[in-house]
Amino acid sequence: MNVATDNRNKYERRWRLPLAWVVLIVFDLCLVAMVCAQDEVDRATDKSKTVQVVIGKQTPAAAADGQRATALPEKGAGVSVVQLEGPNDVKADAVRFEAIDVFVDSGNQPLAAYQIELASKTPGVEIVGIEGGEPAVFAEPPYYDPRAMSNNRVIIAAFTTGENLPAGRCRVARIHVQLQGPGVKEYETKLSVSATTDGKRVPAELSIEKAEA
């Protein structure tokens, strides 16, 4: 009996996995599941981008002068993709300059602070300058980090404790860009912060338009 019991114990120990191995196997399975889930998200994102492009092509041109923007469906909280019309009668290697007006609409709430991100989704776009807006409290150029600003992406922010705060739709900044080639340029915009004087967040909408010459 003792011999049989010893043999059975040896057999069980031989096939018993160490705890570290079990943890490693579970971790590997979780990693595989995460990779598969990320692949599904990437495929869904690519599909969403395709739908946005199709919708953008089906949307009528904004105006003959090309000053208005065509907004595509939002990609996430506070994130939108906007198309700005451009001339089609220029060469592919032609360089031109434009200015983009940035508007924030805070409704009936006074706007004292904002943070905005703008990034080009079209090749051949380079951000070259930033100006302030129309209200006196936002007339100075907004804050931004030149080291963090890439050629096609920038984050701008401003805060004021002054009086006569703007409410409703107002132009808070103007961004100068260098463009190459003809046609529509696509931008991704995000309003990260909109607040009043006491730091309380207020609902607001962000929009951009090509500045008038």
Note the pLDDT tens digit of each residue in 45-91.
343 332 233 223 323 333 333 344 444 444 445 789 999 999 999 89
DSSP-derived letter for residue 186 is E
As a whole number of angstroms, the distance between CA 114 and CA 185 comes to 24
So what's the pLDDT on residue 161?
87
Q: How large is the C-alpha radius of gyration of the chain?
A: 27
pTM above 0.75, yes or no: no
Q: Round to whole Å and give the CA distance between 181 and 33.
A: 43
Q: What local confidence, expressed as pLDDT, does residue 65 receive? A: 38
Q: For residue 59, what pLDDT is reported? A: 30
- What integer pLDDT is reported at residue 147 of this predicted model? 76
Amino acid 91: pLDDT: 92
Reduce the DSSP state of residue 161 to 3 states and report it.
Answer: coil
Reading the block at residue 13, the tokens are: 């120990």
Q: Rounded to the nearest 5°, which phi and psi values hold at 168? A: 80, -155
**Residue 109 DSSP code:** S
pLDDT at 38: 43
pLDDT < 70: residue spans in the chain? 1-77, 213
Q: Give dist(CA 167, CA 169) in Å, integer.
A: 7
pLDDT of residue 49: 36
DSSP state of 142: P
pLDDT of the residue at 53: 30
Asked if CATH classification 1.20.58 holds for the domain at 65-210, the reply, yes or no, is no
CA nearest to 205, candidates 77, 83, 119, 85: 77
d(CA 186, CA 20): 51
Domain boundaries, the chain: 2-44, 65-210
What's the pLDDT at 138? 96
